[in-house]
Amino acid sequence: MTVLQTTFRDLVRIVAMVILFWPLYLHAQSGGNPLRPDSMQDLAFTQRQGVSLPLDARFTDSEGRTLPLNTFIAGRPAILSIGYYRCPNLCDLEREDLLHALSLSGLKTPGDYTLLVVSVDPAETPAIAREARADDLARFPETGSEQGWHFLVGSQEETGRLSRAVGFHSRYDNGLKQYLHPMGLIFVTPAGTVSGYVLGVGYRAGDIRQAVSLAAKGQRSAASPILLLCFHYDATTGRYTLAIEKLLRLAGVLTVLTLGSLLAMAHWRRLS
């Protein structure tokens, strides 16, 4: 991928984030339910390397099969993404970033890794998981996905057990009608223990490959304590608002870089 393509992709991601976050921004600015600073920090990942997942917890996959978590891991290193399929914010973008990184990583499923996408919303059904899986496969077709990619739903109890084990915190906001949760990936050893985390979005193929490699060896790694949510705390209003202004500034910079690259390329082609 060229520098220009990478810059353009980053620009598209930033613009998408602005579009996704705009309704939440308006909600906060219009006096929506405030979130306290301490409550925001409570949603950050608690990194728990070495902790065992509840391997007996039962989840239902996109084909309607209800099986223990250990069956889906199947003795391979696993990448765990927790969110929900009808999330109006970053969940789809996180999966897109992950699958794009995997497509460039050289890793193959199911031989090198297992992908576990788990919904935190107990109301979501296998049909919803099946639709999300089909959409992702349409964008990122992967040989072996039938054995290696599992899109799961579960009861509140079972999802809660898994979330507590890996340090994933979430809650439902009645005002926003959405789940609030952190963004990031958990990497799991073949034995079913937490190996490490890659937090935020914008995943790189090398980072994913290294995290899977460490998990495959049963090794642990620590991630920087990044907290990516839909909100940031605005001390002037006393409530959390979206960092729309920051995103717009970044989008402006990327736009200038992209246009500059296009002009430079056009000029170079004329000279040649």
**Helix/strand/coil (H, E, C) string of the chain?**
CCHHHHHHHHHHHHHHHHHHHHHHHHHHHCCCCCCCHHHHHCCCCCCCCCCECCCCCEEEECCCCEEEHHHHHCCCCEEEEEECCCCCCCHHHHHHHHHHHHHHHCCCCCCCCEEEEEECCCCCCHHHHHHHHHHHHHHCCCCCHHHHEEEEECCHHHHHHHHHHHCCCCEEECCCCEEECCCEEEEECCCCEEEEEEECCCCCHHHHHHHHHHHHCCCCCCCCCCCCCCCEEECCCCEEECCHHHHHHHHHHHHHHHHHHHHHHHHHHHHC
pTM for this entry: 0.73
Report the distance separating Cα 201 and Cα 199, nearest Å: 7
What pLDDT score does 40 carry? 57
The answer to whether 7 touches 257, Cβ cutoff 8 Å, is yes
pLDDT < 70 regions, the chain: 1-41, 224-267, 269-272
What pLDDT score does 166 carry? 97
What pLDDT digit, counting tens, does each position of 181-197 carry?
A: 888 999 999 999 999 99
**Token pair for 220:** 């642990």
User: How, if at all, do strands 114-119 and 78-83 pair?
Assistant: parallel
What pLDDT score does 41 carry? 60
What pLDDT score does 167 carry? 95
What pLDDT digit, counting tens, does each position of 2-50 carry?
A: 444 444 455 555 454 444 444 444 444 444 444 444 455 677 889 999 9
What pLDDT score does 263 carry? 67
